Structure 1
Amino acid sequence: MSNSLPSARNPASSSASIIVRTIGTAQPISWLLRAWHDLMRCGWISVLHGVAIALIGALMLWLAHDRFWFMAGAFSGFLLVGPVLATSLYALSRGLERGDKPGLAKVLETWLNWKHGRVQAWGEAQWRLVQFGVLLALAGTAWVLVSAGLITWLAPVPITSPLVFIEQVVLAREGWLFEIWLALGGALVAPIFASTVITIPLLLDRQVSIGQAIAASWQVIFANPVPMAFWGALIMLLTLLGFATALIGLVLLVPLLGHASWHAYRDLLDVSALPEQEQR
C-alpha cells in the first residue's frame, strides 16, 4: 500500500512515495523489546524523560486534588500530548540507528535546536511539531468538555470527585451512563489515535507537512487494523499501570513507550524516498 506525498519543501515541483507496510498482530511486542534495548543503551537520559513526566503528572494531581474534571482533563491531556513530549526519545532512538552517541546534547538539539554551543532559531520542522501539539491539546480540551457535559446532564448527582464518579457512574445499578460515556470516549479517542500513531516520528524524521503525516498515520491504521488496535491497547494498559503505581511506574514506562513508538514508525513506513530533515 502506498501513497504519493509531495516534499514539504517544494510540494509543487517534486514528489516522493511513502510505502505503508503490513505487519503481524504480535509485532508491537517486538517494539517494546527493542525499546527496552534502547532504554538500556541511553540509560539515565531516557529515564530522565520518565522522571520529568512523572513529576508533571504529580503536580497536576496535586493541583486537581478533589476537583474531578480538572483531574480528568489532566489525564486526558497526558494521553494526548504525551507523544509530543516524547519527541526527544524518538530522536535518541533515531540517533542510535545512525550510530550517534546518546546523551543530553541530542535532547537539547531536539527541543532547542542547539548548535555550536548556543540555541539556534527554530526551523519549519520544530514549528510543525509545536502546531501539532497545540492541535492535540485542543482535541483533549474538546473531549473533557464533551465528557463533562454528558456526565453533568445525565448523572443523578453532581460529580465533584473521583469517588463520586465511581459510585454514581461506574458502579451505578440503573441506567447506561457509564456505557454511553465509554462509547463516546472511544468514538472520540479512536480518530485521535489514528491521527497520531506515527505522525510525530515522521515529522521529526522527514520533510512532510502535518497534513501529509496525519494522512500517512491513517493509512497505517487502515493497512493494519488489528495490530494497531493491539498497540493502542498496550499503550493504554501501560499508561494506566503507570498511574496505578502512584506515577512511579511512568519513570520507566514513558521512555519505553517513546522508544517503542519510534520502532513502530520504522516498521510501519518505508520513507526512504522522502527527503530527511536537516541534521542538527
Structure 2
Amino acid sequence: MDQASSSEQAVTLRQITVNPVTVADLRAALAAGISDFRKAPLMGLFFGGIYALGGIVVVYALASLNAPYWVIPAAVGFPLLGPFIAVGLYEISRRLETGTPLSWKGVLFEIVESRKREVSWMAFVVLFIFWIWMYQVRLWLALFLGFEAFASVGDFLTTITTTSDGLGFLAVGTVVGAALATVLFSVTVVSIPLLLDRDPDIVTAMITSVQTVLKNPVVMLGWGAFVAVLLVAAMLPLFLGLVVVLPVLGHATWHLYRRAVTVSS
C-alpha cells in the first residue's frame, strides 16, 4: 500500500531534543516550503483551495443569517484553524523528503488514517481555542457596544473605528486575540507535524511545541507574527490569496519542525 514510512512506536519526551532555531533556519524552511509547493503545485492548491472555500462559506453564511457584525471576527479568527488543516501539506512534505511516492491516494489515505492517532485530538484543541476566540468577541461586544445591531459590515467597521467604545472594543479584542493566537501557535507549531511524523501522545507533542517556543522565543514568535501577517494579507482578496499562501506556509512549517526537533530512536 502507498504509505509514507513512519515510526510505529510512539516516542516519549526523553527521546525528543529541542534544538536552537535561528533566523537562517526560518529562511531555509521558507525556501524549502516554496520548493515543495513547486514540486506538488496541484496538491498544494487543492488544500489551499479547501481552506479558502471554507472562509468564503463562513462569511456568506454569517451574512445570510443577518449577522454581518460577526463576519470580521470570524474572518480574523479563521486562520486559527490553519494548523490542523495543514496536515495534508505536512504529509506531502514528508513524502517529498523521504522519497516516498507522491500520490493523491497515498496522501489522502494518511490524512484519513491520522484520525485514528493522537493527531485527531488536536482538532479539539484548535476548535476549542477558536470557540474561545468567538466567545470573547461576543463578550467584548456586549461590554463595549451593548446589544447594538449593525445593518452591515461597513456600519460595524465605522462604529469600532470612530467611536470611543468601538476603539475600546478594538483595543481589548486585539490584545486578547493576540494572546489566544500566541497560545495556539505555541501548542501547535511543532506538535501537529510531530504527531503526524512520530505519533507521540498529545501531551508530549504539545509540551515539545511549547518548549520549542520557550527555547527560541524571539525567532519562533517572529515566525508566528510573520505567518499571521501573511495569512491576514492573503485573506483580503476574498480569501483567494490563501490558495497559495497556506500551502507554502504549511510546507515551510514542516521543514521548521525538522530543524527545531530531533527525535532519537
TM-score range, shorter chain: 0.7 to 0.9
**Counterpart pick for 1:206 among 198, 211, 215:** 198
Count matched residues. 255
Report sequence identity in percent: 26
Structure 2 residue 61 is the aligned partner of structure 1 residue 63 = yes
Q: CA deviation at 1:179?
A: 1.7
Whether the 8 Å CA contact 2:10–2:201 is kept in 1: the answer is no
Change (3 A) 1:54 1:188: closer
Aligned residue number for residue 51 of structure 2: 53
Change (3 A) 1:159 1:216: farther
The 10-residue stretch of structure 1 (164-173 or 253-262) with the greater mean CA deviation from structure 2:
164-173
Aligned residue number for residue 96 of structure 1: 96
CA distance in 1, matches of 2:13, 2:217: 27
The 10-residue stretch of structure 1 (184-193 or 248-257) with the greater mean CA deviation from structure 2:
184-193
- Runs of 5+ unmatched residues, structure 2: 1-6
Aligned residue number for residue 20 of structure 1: 18
CA distance in 2, matches of 1:22, 1:51: 34
Change (3 A) 1:64 1:218: same
Change (3 A) 1:123 1:147: closer
Aligned residue number for residue 30 of structure 1: 28
Aligned residue number for residue 4 of structure 2: none
Aligned residue number for residue 163 of structure 2: 172
Aligned residue number for residue 158 of structure 1: 148
- Runs of 5+ unmatched residues, structure 1: 1-6, 114-121, 275-280
Structure 2 residue 258 is the aligned partner of structure 1 residue 260 = no
> After the TM superposition, which residues 1-280 of structure 1 pair with which residues of structure 2 at under 5 Å, given as runs?
16-65=14-63, 67-68=67-68, 70-72=70-72, 74-75=74-75, 78-113=78-113, 124-125=116-117, 128-155=118-145, 158=148, 160=150, 161-173=152-164, 176-271=168-263, 273-274=264-265
> RMSD of the alignment, in Å?
2.5
- TM-score, structure 1 normalization: 0.82
The 10-residue stretch of structure 1 (73-82 or 239-248) with the greater mean CA deviation from structure 2:
73-82
Q: CA deviation at 1:72?
A: 4.4
More helix by share: 2
Q: CA deviation at 1:24?
A: 1.5
Whether the 8 Å CA contact 2:231–2:242 is kept in 1: the answer is yes
**What secondary structure sits across from 1:19 in the alignment?**
strand
CA distance in 1, matches of 2:85, 2:198: 18
Change (3 A) 1:9 1:190: same
**What secondary structure sits across from 1:270 in the alignment?**
strand
Counterpart amino acid of residue 94 in structure 1: R
CA distance in 1, matches of 2:119, 2:28: 27
- TM-score, structure 2 normalization: 0.86
Counterpart amino acid of residue 146 in structure 1: Q
Aligned residue number for residue 3 of structure 2: none
Change (3 A) 1:132 1:77: farther
The 10-residue stretch of structure 1 (234-243 or 59-68) with the greater mean CA deviation from structure 2:
59-68
Q: CA offsets per residue over residues 116-173 of structure 1, 9 Å max, x none?
A: xxxxxx7742xx2222102211111112111211122112772534323322223435
Counterpart amino acid of residue 162 in structure 1: V
Whether the 8 Å CA contact 1:157–1:168 is kept in 2: the answer is no
**What secondary structure sits across from 1:176 in the alignment?**
helix
Counterpart amino acid of residue 148 in structure 1: R
Change (3 A) 1:22 1:181: same
CA distance in 2, matches of 1:27, 1:197: 15
CA distance in 2, matches of 1:101, 1:242: 31
Q: CA deviation at 1:8?
A: 9.6
CA distance in 2, matches of 1:141, 1:69: 17
Q: CA offsets per residue over residues 23-49 of structure 1, 9 Å max, x none?
A: 223532322211010011112112111
Greater relative CO (CA pairs within 8 A, separation 6+)? 2
Whether the 8 Å CA contact 2:144–2:168 is kept in 1: the answer is no
**What secondary structure sits across from 1:142 in the alignment?**
helix
Change (3 A) 1:68 1:40: same
CA distance in 1, matches of 2:13, 2:27: 34
